[in-house]
Structures are given as structure tokens and as C-alpha cells.
Amino acid sequence: MATGIPPKNKRNKKKIPVVLSYEGKEDVQSILNKKSIFFEKVLTINNMGKNKFFFGDNLDALLFLLNDGLKGKIKLVYIDPPFATASNFVNRKQEHAYSDALCGGEFVEFLRKRLLLLYELLANDGSIYLHLDGKMAFVMKIIMDEIFGEENCRAFITRKKCSTKNYTKKSYGNVSDYIMFYSKTSKYVWNRPFEAWEYDNMLEQYPCVDKKTGCRYKKVPIHAPGVRNGETGKEWRGKLPPTGKHWQYTPEKLDALDEAGEIYWSPTGNPRRMVFCDPTKGIPVQDIWLNYRDSINQARKTTGYPTEKNYDMLRMIVNASSNPGDIVMDCFAGSGTTLEAAFETGRTWIGVDDSIESLKAIMKRFTNGLERYGDYVSAPSYIQSTLDLSVKCPFEVWAKKTDIEIITELCKSKQ
């Protein structure tokens, strides 16, 4: 692919922003000024609650957290909201889990309000991942640009969500969805993730072997597009950069690379940089994810909650965009995959959901553990009669007063 040359007058050119307009779009300040509803602590599992789950409308919970000292404190947000499918979803026991009834502008405004509050809650070096499918992802990209700034879009990721669909007759198989990765500012937490090398891929990417060290390497050009009048445009070792290009490094840096044995000279005297393979790191993760499918097989363990996402994917995201001790939030918590990934990697988590099946699934995840998807013989036990047995992650449950009685009864019962 050709590399473009940035225009010289780029700084003087004003970019016209793209804004989404629709009926019912509320003023930003009026959303931020909404009154918060008080959440009361219902119970602390094992009396050691550091992580918090809020049972209720996430708009209320976000407003509550903004007024409770969390503004600018959350390092990472991952959300997997409803996809505007106009459908209802049930768990493995065919019990209602959540409704996905909103669509069009109503869905956009529902999500926009929550994104505006999440922006306020994010730390200056924080990030957010928004997970949607092709129906609303491209519309919400405009909204994300409005709130976080187009320049802070770090990646628009395509994920293979399931195995090949063979029953599609009149179109291509729908096997992908999308994850938008935005930072709040230009300085953000980033621990670059890597995928393990496959031997054949390593041979393909690094086809050469250094005779001195035995290490594999590839040859890359040491010039780049664009003319420069400074040091990188001057002659080096009796050679000028190709027409219309400049050296990537100053002559002094190129000398140092050559002395270190990192410049390859072709038989015709053409220099290339030798980039060595580091097999301990692997391949940097790109913006197409093929290894994080949600397809369920009989051996896989789940909570039984619908639309449960791939744990390895969430663990990778948490590691990439936060550090141990940071606060990670998922305000569409669902089965609690994000929360478990945060806990297992040493982060503190905040989860929010208004579905009783979500609360059941999260308690199941952090008490009894997951069950094989193919185990249809014995009914799953979602909640233990005593919640201090086999507790993997102590946490507090918060709810509005009207919901406390329901949750208290749930936590005392066996399912």
C-alpha cells in the first residue's frame, strides 16, 4: 500500500466536523446536570467488598458515581450494550435476561447519554471500548467522534464472532462485529498486546538468518516518502535517498546501526535495515481479531447468560489498557466476563446491570464458578444458600431501595 505525504499546510487547514442530527438529541449540559438517584448497599459478600455491582438503570448508576467521587478515576471502560435488534434474550433456562427494544435515534440517544457520563468518569489517561455489530457501529462511530474526538479513535476493530455460517443463501455470512477503541486524551495507558508466534508464520515474516548470531531477520527500507532539507535529506555513505524520499534516520544514527551489524548491504550496494525477530514477544495484535469467537462448544464453560463474550478477549483488553490496581468498569455487565477479567489481572471493578439474570450470572461466576455448556443433565445452581463459600472475588451489591427486598430474597434462596 502506498504511503501518503502529509501536506505542508496541514496546520492551517480547518477540518469541518461531522455531527449526527436526529429527533430527541438532548443538550450535553442538561444530561450532565441530571439528578442522581441514591443507591444503598444491599450486602457485602464475605464482608470484604472492594468491587461494586450496581443493580439498576446504568444512567442512574453513572450519575451516582459522578457525584460519589469517581469523576476522572476510572481507567478503562468496556461496554457491550444491546445491538438494537428489537428482540428479547433469554438464558439457558429460557428465563428472560434482557430486552433489546430500542432502535434508530432512540437507541443512539440512549447510548449517547451514557457515553457522555462515561467520558466524565474516565481518567485523563483512560480508554473506552464500545462493542457493537454492523447495524449501529457506523452510526455510533460519529457519536464517539463527537464525544471523545476523532483524533482519539485508536482503532476500529473487526472481530470474527462465530464460526462460518453455511445457511446464508442471499448474502455473505454474518460472522463479524466491531469494537471501537477510544482514549480520552493523547496520553493513555497502553501495554501493547502480542499473539504467540506460529512457526510457519515466523519463517514467512522473517525469512533471513544472520550467519553470526543465527537469529532470524527481515530487510526493510531505511528511507521514507517526502523530501527533507535537513540531515535526513543529505548524502550518507556516498548515497542520496531515492528521488522524492528521505532517510528515516540521521546519518549518525545510520552509522550506529551499521556498526551494530543492523544494516544489510546488497551485492549492488543497496542498504536495508535488518529487523530481528524476538520470539519471546510474538506478533503485535492488529485490528482484525480472528481468535476471540463466542461460538459455544460442548466443552466450554459459561454462566448460561445470552451474548456472553469471550473471556480471553476481555482479559487481553484489560491488560492492554489498564494496569494492576486500576478501576475497570462495565456498565452493561451481563454475565460479568469483564469483571472477572479485571479481578483475575489485579484490577478493581465496577459493574452495572438492571437484569436479575445478570446479577445471578455474576454471583454464579464469582461463587460456584462456570459450568460446561453441554451439561444439560443437572440444572445449574446459580446462588448458594450461604455466599461465603468458595468465594473467589468478594464484592458489594448496591441497589435502589425499591430493589433491595428482591435482591435480599434472591441471595437467600437456592435456584
* pLDDT (tens digit per residue) in 146-183: 999 999 999 999 999 987 766 667 888 889 999 999 99
Mean local confidence (pLDDT), 25-45: 88
- State pTM to two decimals: 0.82
Residues 148, 119: contact at Cβ < 8 Å?
yes
> Which stretches within 18-125 are classed as H helix?
28-32, 58-66, 104-121
Q: CB of 178 within 8 A of CB of 157? A: yes
**E strand or H helix that includes residue 288:** strand 288-289
Q: Which domains does the chain have, with CATH numbers?
A: 38-166+173-193+285-412 (3.40.50.150), 199-276 (no CATH)
- The angle at the Cα of 209, spanning 205 to 214, to the nearest 5 degrees, equals 125
3 state SS of 107: helix
Q: pLDDT per residue over 52-72, tens digit each?
A: 999 999 999 999 999 999 999
Among the listed residues 189, 182, 104, the one whose alpha carbon sits nearest the alpha carbon of residue 145: 182
Q: What is the pLDDT of residues 352-376, one digit of tens each?
A: 999 888 888 888 888 776 665 544 3
Higher-confidence residue of 345 and 88: namely 345
Percent of the chain scored above 70 by pLDDT? Answer: 80
> pLDDT tier at 413 (50, 70, 90 boundaries)?
low
Contact 241, 247 (CB under 8 A): yes
- The answer to whether residue 271 scores a pLDDT higher than 90 is yes
Nearest CA-CA partner of 263 in 245, 278, 251, 280: 251
pLDDT at 85: 55
Average pLDDT, the chain: 85
pLDDT digits (tens, 9 = 90+) for 101-129: 677 889 999 999 999 999 999 999 999 99
Q: Is the pLDDT of residue 197 over 60?
A: yes
H or E element: which one contains 272? strand 271-276
Closest CA to 309 of 50, 81, 102: 81
Burial code (b: 16+ CB inside 10 Å, e: under 16) for 317-331 equals bbbbbbeeebbbbbb
CA distance 77 to 72: 12
Per DSSP (E only), the strands in 56-206 are 74-79, 87-90, 96-100, 122-132, 153-160, 176-183, 194-195
Higher pLDDT, 306 or 93: 306
**Which residue type is seen at 157?**
I
Q: Which range (28-32, 44-48, 279-283) has the least confidence?
A: 44-48
Cell numbers linked to 238: 556516498
Q: Compute the average pLDDT of residues 193-208.
A: 88
pLDDT band at 98 (very low <50, low <70, confident <90, very high): very low
Mean pLDDT of 26-35: 94
